[in-house]
Amino acid sequence: MSEAVIKLEKIDDYRWRIPKSYKPGMRVPGLVYASEKLLESIYQDKALEQVANVAFLPGIVNNSLAMPDIHWGYGFPIGGVAATDIDEGGVVSPGGVGFDINCGVRLVKTNLEYDDVKDKLENLVYRLFNDVPAGVGSEGNIRVSLKEEEEILIKGARWAVEKGFGTEDDLNCTEERGQIRGADPQAVSERAYKRGKAQSGTLGSGNHFLEVQLIDQLYDAKACDTLGLSLGQVMVMIHTGSRGFGYQICEDYSRKMVEGLSKYNINIPDRQLACAPVNSNEGKAYLGAMRCAANYAWANRQCLMHLARLAFEKIFGLSWQKLGMSLIYDVAHNIAKIEKHEINGKLKNLCVHRKGATRAFAPGHPDIPERYKTIGQPVIIPGDMGRNSYLLVGTQKAMEETFGSACHGAGRLKSRSAALKAIRSDILLKELNSKGIIVKTSGRNTLAEEAPTAYKDINDVVDVVHNAGIGKRVCRMRPLGVIKG
């Protein structure tokens, strides 16, 4: 529990306010998206205290935001969103992005149905497990020179496409087209380079995964028609990020920015919120390095999708094009972006931190693909390996309330160590198999650490997003096969 229990002011059934008066020094209120049911779990850690702490950041506008999957994180809560006004001394904080920079998800559709895969599912899962490197310290078959490594940091997913690991259409369906501008390889430490060198095209460990899924519920006929989705369709979801490369960048700059707090006369209640003005040398250096990690992650997910397509080709004896394996979208979960948003009737340049949160831009927004202009940006929200995942689209209300943001997943209920104590992997594996879910993991403890009971119920979380109006449900998917590190 928090040191003092925060008394939230109820706005409606899905929104709650932390008043500015809660802590002297808060520049804006906190705004929490949750149901009463989810609040019970949210109160189990200090995440709400972190929402209040984020409200101290110089230049913060409107609210310090918390998505319904919120839980305790480094500085910012995971599931936290905050935007700062760059022209008013707004800051950027590595803690507002997180260690796994541009951890994100991409969703791939196929033209396969359950009857097409049910007899081949086990072979498919084993082939994916064999062909997609996963686990702590896993290394991929994609080897690059130092010069190529710098190219990846600047070009992102475009580098992978130029190497034959995808198509131009993949880029069109990736946030920032898989290549955020302003990446500065010179701002990256040698230690980060070493950690990232062998990890391109690898899945990693923890909650990262590759899943074969089945659409089991449709909600929005217009959006499904636009996206080419139907009931019973087989999908592939990939969740990973910048691996040790991004982790090292966050570690490097979190330390540097603590040293600079006094220089800019910044007072914050938690050193993990260390920050610097966006326009300062320190702010520019961090953003340059962070963008390198973001591009690295987009290249990584592009390479992983390529490996998954090849695995499907081997099992089904058809090209991935004939299998209809096209990318629906790729979204970033941990990133700081410079975006224009309307604040008090004026268009402002903001630094939008999304930590464990997904961009959810509305229909017609210039930054989303032309094909999605009528429905809004696809928003991919994965659940746990025993429940569902969801596809939503962004809304105008999200633009007005959350800087075009929604949640990114279910959100942890138990820490990994607590899950390990409470859950037996062998029993869990039998439970998943009884549901028709085939699971392959590299790590001995991964299964227990990532058990469904270690997470909030994704259905409760998505209900809040949908009913609060910051995302609109399109379809639901259930897992058939899961690859974890």
Catalytic residue numbers? 408
Give the CA distances from residue 262 to residues 53, 171, 218, 277, in Å, rounded to whole numbers and listed in that order.
18, 42, 53, 12
CB 447, CB 428: distance < 8 Å: yes
Tokens of 262: 């006094």
In angstroms, the CA 282 to CA 80 distance is 23
CB 450, CB 385: distance < 8 Å: yes
CB 17, CB 66: distance < 8 Å: no
Q: DSSP character for 241?
A: -
In angstroms, the CA 246 to CA 369 distance is 27
In angstroms, the CA 277 to CA 84 distance is 9
CB 454, CB 413: distance < 8 Å: yes
In angstroms, the CA 95 to CA 62 distance is 19
- Strands 64-71 and 30-33 turn out to be parallel
Tokens of 308: 């998954």
Cite the DSSP H helix spans in 8-84.
36-42, 47-54
